[in-house]
């Protein structure tokens, strides 16, 4: 229960961070957002950890996960700067728990029964409904975002693997720190600059405050995620991915006056229902395993 509570708080915080960076992208661009996230976030994690427990133990996996997440950040910021709405992107991201269920088979060696296979297929039908030709999400940015969502699902699973070897602060620190060299490499890329082509890493004081909040919120949220995955399994935490859709609807409307199409919301409902059913089947399976273990012990 503590892991679930920490993850829920983390998703609430990260939603606010996403709204802040989406608001700032037209001024700092994708590379600038990466740098702000990396510098402010990694310093904040180091302060929270008091400089201890930051050195990685599973170096190869922690670096692979961090680079994967940097790429995910790049793609999310790019589609947001291209005009995709906050709630629309979160609706598509609701496919992440289904992908986590399927990707846990080759990555973690977990088994998935036929019922969960069927629910995953139903969930992906909901994604296709959101992406139907002629709909609001029938755009090239949606395809880019689906690549990012797949990478995000892999990153979540690797977080679970790292939780047994590395501290939450180390997991969060290296993810954020690698945004700095990644962002520096992206600075010359014209397509990742603000729409006007002018790159300004230090815009108005209001935007500086928004970007500082963005970095601090990412630091806290990723420490919470790492701790949550150390306390709870993937199946228990995956449905909490859906809570960001609620926050995205609220923040998208209040800050950007965004109202998703009914097809987007309907498709998201199907995807979420499939994900919740997967959670139910996981609980049933674990209860059966515990019962079998007790019977064998007696």
pLDDT in tens, 221-240: 988 988 887 787 666 676 77
b/e burial code for range 46-57 (CB count within 10 A of at least 16 → b): beebeeeebebe
Contact 81, 28 (CB under 8 A): no
Q: How many CB atoms lie under 10 A from the CB of residue 269?
A: 15
Indicate the pLDDT class of residue 92, thresholds 50, 70 and 90.
Answer: confident
Handedness of CA 58, 45, 240, 126 (dihedral sign): negative
Average the pLDDT over 62-68 and give the result: 94
pTM of the complete model: 0.82
What does the pLDDT look like over 263-285, one tens digit per residue?
Answer: 778 877 887 787 777 667 767 77
Task: Give the model's pLDDT for residue 70.
Answer: 94
Domain coverage including residue 248: 2-297
Structure tokens at 287: 């209860």
Number of domains in the chain: 1
Average the pLDDT over 126-138 and give the result: 71
Percent residues over pLDDT 90 in the chain: 36
- The residues, ordered by sequence, that sit 6+ positions from 110 with a Cβ below 8 Å of its Cβ are 104
pLDDT surpasses 70 at 74 = yes
Q: How far is CA 140 from CA 68, 99, 143, 223, in A?
A: 21, 21, 5, 33
Q: What is Dmax (Cα atoms) for the chain? A: 72
């Amino acid at each position: 229960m503590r892991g679930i509570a920490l993850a829920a708080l983390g998703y609430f915080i990260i939603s606010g961070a996403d709204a802040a960076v989406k608001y700032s992208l037209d001024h700092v661009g994708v590379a600038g957002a990466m740098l702000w996230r990396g510098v402010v976030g990694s310093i904040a994690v180091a302060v929270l950890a008091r400089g201890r427990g930051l050195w990685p133990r599973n170096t190869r996996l922690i670096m692979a996960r961090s680079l994967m997440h940097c790429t995910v950040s790049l793609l999310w910021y790019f589609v947001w700067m291209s005009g995709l709405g906050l709630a629309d992107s979160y609706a598509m991201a609701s496919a992440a728990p289904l992908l986590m269920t399927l990707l846990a088979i080759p990555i973690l060696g977990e088994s998935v029964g036929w019922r969960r296979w069927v629910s995953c297929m139903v969930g992906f039908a909901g994604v296709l409904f959101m992406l139907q030709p002629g709909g609001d999400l029938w755009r090239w940015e949606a395809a880019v975002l689906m690549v990012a969502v797949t990478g995000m699902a892999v990153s979540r699973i690797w977080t679970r693997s790292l939780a047994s070897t590395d501290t939450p602060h180390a997991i969060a620190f290296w993810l954020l720190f690698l945004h700095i060299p990644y962002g520096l490499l992206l600075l010359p890329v014209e397509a990742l600059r603000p729409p006007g082509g002018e790159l300004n890493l230090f815009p108005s004081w209001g935007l500086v405050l928004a970007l500082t909040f963005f970095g601090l919120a990412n630091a806290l949220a990723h420490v919470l995620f790492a701790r949550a995955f150390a306390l709870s399994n993937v199946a228990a935490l995956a449905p909490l991915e859906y809570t960001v859709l609620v926050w995205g609807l609220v923040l998208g409307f209040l800050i950007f006056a965004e109202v998703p199409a009914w097809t987007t919301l309907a498709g998201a409902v199907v995807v979420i229902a499939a994900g919740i059913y997967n959670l139910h089947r996981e609980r049933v399976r674990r209860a059966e395993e515990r019962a079998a273990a007790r019977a064998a012990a007696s």
